[in-house]
Amino acid sequence: MTALVQAQGLARSFGGGWLHRPPVQALRGVDLTVARGEALGVVGESGSGKSTLGRLLLGLLPPSAGTVRFDGQDVGAASRAEWRRLRQRMQIVFQDPFGSLDPRRRVGPQILDGIAIHGLMPPAERGDRLAALLAQVGLDPAHAVRFPHEFSGGQRQRIGIARALATGPEFLVADEPVSALDVSIQAQVMALLADLRRQLGLALLFISHDLPVVRQLCDRVVVLYLGRVMEEGPAEAVFRAPAHPYTRALLSATPRLDPRRRLPRIPLPGEPPSPANPPSGCVFRTRCPQAAADCAAAVPALQPVGAAHRVACLRAAEAA
């Protein structure tokens, strides 16, 4: 896999200005890469620098030292025009789905903001794109005219994901994307992210406190402590046999996973669908009302119309 995002010696401090407070060293010389299509988990206790790292990688925050390269291009040295092009290719899903949406605007235009700002598509074609984005995240396209307060927390986070996907990014930073949600819907949103990542070949930086979810979703993991990388490696290997004492302490502080919260197992490429393994497009596998014989039987027919299937599943799950 080729590196899509590459950080070298990334450091960032805050404060230390006129109040004569000592500066906070949020990040201290971090090197990392995210390959195309790879999911890299970032774990660490509160204040270890996870969100700062995400914002630095996206160029939303300038580093105090070090560089970030996206597809070989130095993000810090990009001209205004180059920066606008780069921004289309990397997006973020925020922790708070309500705070990140404007309560006074209908959700449809908000989802299309990125397309409008970057002038990516003729206005006449944007309606179809909006409908496709909403269906892709399991929402009814007719709901584009609603305001954010007319949705549940989980639905609002789906809107945030649709907005992040609008410009067709290759790299997505998901900063604690489910921690503000009710436990009962966390698994659905996680399954949606996992599916989208696979379908769209997205590279993902997944920031989370939820170590079991990181283990299941991510290919590799980086463990941060006080702004430094303590350990890095394949997620399964790091969690099974952590080499660093800090990782061991972090793991031992994690409550045992409630089996009901487990993400649905993600099928391997080419694995035939079955009642236990509904169509890959279905994001509601945990509560999929069609996860029975008829769903499996209808798989070939469902795959081309995955979006419709997802909407049907969402309606049924909401009604249940």
Ligand X SMILES: Nc1ncnc2c1ncn2[C@@H]1O[C@H](COP(=O)(O)OP(=O)(O)OP(=O)(O)O)[C@@H](O)[C@H]1O
Residues making contact with ligand X (CB under 6 A): 14-15, 24, 26, 44, 46-52
Query: What are 108's two structure tokens?
Result: 């449809």
Nearer CB in complex with ligand X: 61/121: 61
Nearer CB in complex with ligand X: 49/306: 49
Cα–Cα–Cα angle for 271, 307, 259, nearest 5°? Answer: 55
Distance of closest approach, residue 14 Cβ to ligand X, in angstroms? 3
Question: Which residue matches tokens 């010696």?
Answer: 9
Q: Could you tell me which residues come within 8 angstroms of residue 6 by beta carbon, excluding any fewer than 6 positions away?
A: 32, 33, 34, 68, 69
Nearer CB in complex with ligand X: 10/299: 10
Decide: 32 and 232 in contact? Cβ < 8 Å: yes
Q: Could you tell me which residues come within 8 angstroms of residue 269 by beta carbon, excluding any fewer than 6 positions away?
A: none
Distance of closest approach, residue 50 Cβ to ligand X, in angstroms? 4
Distance of closest approach, residue 69 Cβ to ligand X, in angstroms? 21
Q: Could you tell me which residues come within 8 angstroms of residue 288 by beta carbon, excluding any fewer than 6 positions away?
A: 278, 282, 295, 313, 317
Distance of closest approach, residue 18 Cβ to ligand X, in angstroms? 14
Distance of closest approach, residue 232 Cβ to ligand X, in angstroms? 16
Nearer CB in complex with ligand X: 241/249: 249
Using DSSP, state whether 8 is helix, strand or coil: strand
Nearer CB in complex with ligand X: 47/289: 47
Distance of closest approach, residue 261 Cβ to ligand X, in angstroms? 20
Nearer CB in complex with ligand X: 61/305: 61
Nearer CB in complex with ligand X: 26/194: 26
Distance of closest approach, residue 107 Cβ to ligand X, in angstroms? 26
CA–CA distance, 91 with 105 (Å, rounded to integer): 21
Where in the chain does DSSP place strands (E)? 3-14, 24-35, 39-43, 65-70, 73-74, 90-93, 171-175, 203-207, 220-225, 228-234
